[in-house]
Amino acid sequence: MKKLVLVLGFMLVCPCARAQVWTAPMDAAKWTVWYKDMSFAPTQGTGSMSFAFPSTTSCGTPGTAGSDCGENYGAFTIDYAAKKSLSISGTLTATLQVQTAPANPLIPVSFDWETEADNTCFTTPATTRFYIQEWVNSPNVALTRRWYSKSAYVLQDSGGIVTLAVPLLVEDWQDVYNDGNAKGFATTLANVNRIGFVAGGGCFFGHGVSVSGGSATFKLVSFGTQ
């Protein structure tokens, strides 16, 4: 599955059986942003990292089949696939900033998701939200091990640092089937291989977001559990 992600290969210092408060390092060298079938490193800042959303013109013609920015464009994913799985609990929390530079100061930058012909939920805006996954080698089971937070940040210029916090409770998350699978959620929390953000709009949480009418940057300041 294509993803636009920030990937972190990070080994927990404490291999304790009980889940601990955990903080992801803001080290751009340990993260990867995925865009379509490509990957690149985010830009390192002082205690933060960032990346620019792609231009909608690079994603094809909105509403045309085959035109998209790659599934899960805009996602930050911390990848533990090659390391010991992470066990998490509490509340997943991040501080972030979305900065825009409109081409016309009177017209805000547009966060576009209408780059798939079958994405027809036109009243749903572009958002970014948390994403967690346990990797399993079974296509059917994998869909019950990929979870998205129901709470999200509507993509727009944030005007400063904002906080997104979501309790790690099954009622605050949904898997691909959105069927309240408590057992699958508990199993995922105990064996997290990927964790971070996705971006999307319309019918899909993570099928891609691009920008037109200017440029936009996503800046991540902190990420972890409390």
Position 63 pLDDT exceeds 80: no
Domain boundaries, the chain: 28-225
Considering only residues 201 and 69, tell me which one the structure prediction assigns the higher pLDDT: 201
* First and final C-alpha spacing in the chain: 30
Distance of alpha carbon 91 from alpha carbon 107, whole angstroms? 36
33, exposed or middle or buried, with CB in 10 Å at 0-12, 13-18, 19+? buried
> Which two structure tokens, joined as six digits, stand for 61?
């013609």
Distance of alpha carbon 226 from alpha carbon 204, whole angstroms? 28
List beta partners, residue 148: 131, 174
Task: Please state the pTM of the whole predicted model.
Answer: 0.83
Check residue 169 and give its pLDDT.
97
Considering only residues 178 and 129, tell me which one the structure prediction assigns the higher pLDDT: 129
Amino acid at 53: F
Residues composing the chain? 226
Please state the rounded mean pLDDT for residues 14-32: 71
Q: Tokens 């379509």, residue?
A: 36
In degrees, rounded to 5, the angle at the alpha carbon of residue 67 between the alpha carbons of residues 31 and 155 is: 55
Position 81 pLDDT exceeds 80: no
